[in-house]
């Protein structure tokens, strides 16, 4: 997933008139963020249950 997001990498406009590429970049960023959060949570729960 990180390879895909890095290949679609382009400038992310912060203005309301976001380009299509910026919108895709935003969506991929959110997706990667939530994947990282879920992985972190699962790792924490595994550590707590094993501990």
Domain that residue 18 falls in = 2-50
Confidence (pTM): 0.48
**For 10-20, what is each residue's pLDDT tens digit?**
444 455 555 66
Which DSSP letter does residue 4 get?
A: H
3-class DSSP state for residue 8?
Answer: coil
Total number of domains in the chain: 1
Q: 22, 29, 23, 36: which is closest to 6 by C-alpha?
A: 29
**For 1-48, what is each residue's pLDDT tens digit?**
444 444 444 444 455 555 666 778 888 899 999 999 999 999 999 988
């Amino acid at each position: 997933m990180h390879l895909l997001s890095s290949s679609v990498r382009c400038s992310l406009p912060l203005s309301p008139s976001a380009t299509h590429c910026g919108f895709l970049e935003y969506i991929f960023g959110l997706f990667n963020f939530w994947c990282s959060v879920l992985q972190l949570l699962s790792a924490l729960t595994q550590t707590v249950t094993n501990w």
